[in-house]
Structure 1
């Protein structure tokens, strides 16, 4: 089981979540990354393949809430708020950022879609 972070800071301007750990690990995780890798059943599926979430490049967060002593819940500004990021999940997302992000970009390209938000005029 992963240690609880020492500090978690939401940087709204840069749309990142900064997570620092007692062992010195420090991650600046883009909110887009956390949104597309949400641990929610909606994204992770109900035992099936992970859903490809697109058009989230500009996603932000309205707030972060503690869930007991074991997790946080991010309230994204696109209305998504069902993912519970346990300390294990959050640490794994930080430790595996490079591989996960490369995989996400590959899946976006294969699907012929985009990270860009759709804007209506």
Structure 2
């Protein structure tokens, strides 16, 4: 249990549902969440999505149909999904998955508000950005 708050529930079971595009996670406290791949993708904890500080977040769009091609364990505290759009730099800790699962409604509301503010919708293609200043990609 190294590196985890002792109060953080740990996953007992993780199932990828490719057809319905949800990650089902059953936690040690009895909670089971079905987290849509799209939600995981638009809230990926990677620098590519979150930026390098507050206000640097990159709004993700066009991810409704995104799939997860693979899920690699990271130590005993996280998983690293490979999404069908090539994004694979997000490391989802158990507490982050729990956060995504337990706060889905608020997160969708926030995401939709950010889309509206940007004049975009869930299906808008991601803008092609040249030279984002982040180094790789």
TM-score, normalised with respect to structure 1: 0.92
In the alignment, the residues of structure 1 paired with residue 121 and residue 62 of structure 2 have an alpha-carbon distance, to the nearest angstrom, of 6
SS of residue matched to 2:11: coil
In the alignment, the residues of structure 1 paired with residue 97 and residue 34 of structure 2 have an alpha-carbon distance, to the nearest angstrom, of 11
Give 1:112's aligned residue.
119
Q: Deviations over 1:27-86 (max 9, x none)?
A: 101100000000001111111322211111100010111001010001000000000001
Question: What are the ranges of 5 or more consecutive residues in structure 2 without an aligned counterpart?
Answer: 126-137
Aligned-residue offset at 1:112:
1.2
In terms of fraction of residues, the more helix-rich structure is 1
Give the length in aligned residue pairs. 118
Please tell me whether Structure 1 or Structure 2 has the larger radius of gyration of its CA atoms: 2
Answering whether residue 14 of structure 2 is matched by residue 8 of structure 1, we say yes
Answering whether residue 95 of structure 2 is matched by residue 88 of structure 1, we say yes
SS of residue matched to 2:24: strand
* RMSD (Å), alpha carbons: 1.1
Deviates more, 1:46-55 or 1:5-14: 46-55
In the alignment, the residues of structure 2 paired with residue 37 and residue 52 of structure 1 have an alpha-carbon distance, to the nearest angstrom, of 9
Counterpart among 36, 47, 50 of residue 53 in structure 2 = 47
Give 2:72's aligned residue.
65
TM-score, normalised with respect to structure 2: 0.82
In the alignment, the residues of structure 2 paired with residue 78 and residue 30 of structure 1 have an alpha-carbon distance, to the nearest angstrom, of 15
Aligned-residue offset at 1:23:
1.1
